Structure 1
């Protein structure tokens, strides 16, 4: 497959102790040979809650808008994609300090610096947003950290980025490192295990995923610790193929053997891979290269096989059907936007017109369930509603003017 050139400028800035160099992310050039998986069970992270495999979608933000991930829904209203991945940030090598550094190109920088308009709208729909990390032809990558401390230091940079930009996790991709360049070491057996172990300690509730490719794919265990015990998901890296990542510690529900390039894999192949995924009870279906144009017809070939439902397309952040909260009882006063299914912290609700400790009534579509919480982050007293509620003072205990976070199913 063709890959984009990777040019590096000298401009850089510092942010929260890590520097950002404007570099260009590479397109994936894929040629691994994954093996069959024999994984143990592991708890999975549910982004949307749709029955069936989760949809994971990479977006080349050099050319396409990450917001497109939120424009596709199933015909029944659920989001098609559970996870959207910003492709990609880079691992650069500082020859003076002899350390790996985290770098973003201008397009990635724009997405991250505009999280309120590029990331939070997706999260408000229940979609998790990850940042992909890969090499940059400078000799530094995820499998050649020379010590446990070096791996921990880089994990801290990643955790800082997740916190700074409100991301939902990190995706690892062992490409384009050009190990040995600038006098760097070759891949070793401990590096990747040290890295994911440190990152999991720093981000116990965030998602960590592994694009099954490169030297890291054969260096998944060290001193009795497996990468599969630290990451949430792993998926095949060869588009248009079906191959189960061999990541001990991950159950079938956390693996994606099917991978497609939306702009090059045929619809018939994409549908066939989806059928295999369902028949073999795997939990992930991987999409790559989502364009700015409407491709819902193509995606329907996949969603019909995965869920028995077509895909529909619609830009904008306000769904036609959803939950609406009102400032006053009897559906009066200021109203929020209609809110789609998903889990919403206070900041995510506020982006949709919600005010903390404000709501007094709610309209709920038939068949939907709303769980309201008195505190942010789904904590405190909770109330579960399954129909329109005209007056929160009638709930037990009184829910009037106390709601701060919500789960909608």
Structure 2
């Protein structure tokens, strides 16, 4: 249900495309350079764990940037922080092209994530400004459909870029993406926060809300499981199982299609099935994949079994993310920016914590990745139960 005058809003399709593009900054920043991660480490003389810190730094920037941009947008409006963040993202991406050492790259990746976070967190707040209830859940699912294209295209595009140039070329492409998003936001993003008294961020109050906190942790833990997959899969699938960069990118794309399919199913089912039930179904799907993955690693099963397990884990995000977000933001219309910030921060901080764990045993051991994913999904299931009882 719209809560602002029609003259103030763009069409639902335009809004979904724009906000989906802004939300895609995270997957693009994280996934596009994955096929070149082993080459990047060799080029900069870094270990697998040190190389994965470039992923962790971007995750940390995406997390902390949301915690800053979300509350600011509750006070000054949505447009200005989005434009500033897109500009920083583009500048940091360009600087990454010229990074001489892994330490410099890690620092620049943090700034890249920090800038890109504004579009992600404020995109969710814009949806809450304009819609509520089932309509909000449907639009969040639409954003997942649009944003879900990024995980599919990012590693494929990255692999094609790497076929003609080095990993620096990937960051040059991200610079172009950042500039394009900046121009699109400047031209198309409406100011969705209605005039009137602006709310102060009450992050502690939100965290004291047991239902909100449980939903935020559930969403964050499921995303942490996916980030463990993102960090570990290049080494598990390419180094252990021998997939080429191009084959790995196609596997990654197939898992992204799983997110799209689950998001589409969620959008169609909202209104007939309660968001809480769709959330529970998504967590159950992820749990099934996590258990299958652990069993496959322990039994040294063929790569096909590993791929099926990872597909279930990743696809479950398409059910979990939109419904957890809609449920968590439903009771906080005046502090949607701060609430969205905590949701995003939980996702990326937990992801940043999970990512380096998968490389602790080196490039040729998949068990740390499997154990990390199982632990995250199990804790997410507990949070789902707590949220339902709150």
- Give the TM-score taking structure 2 as reference length: 0.26
Greater fraction helix = 2
Larger Rg: 1
Greater fraction strand = 1
Q: RCO greater where, 1 or 2, for CA within 8 Å and sep 6 or more?
A: 2
- Give the TM-score taking structure 1 as reference length: 0.25
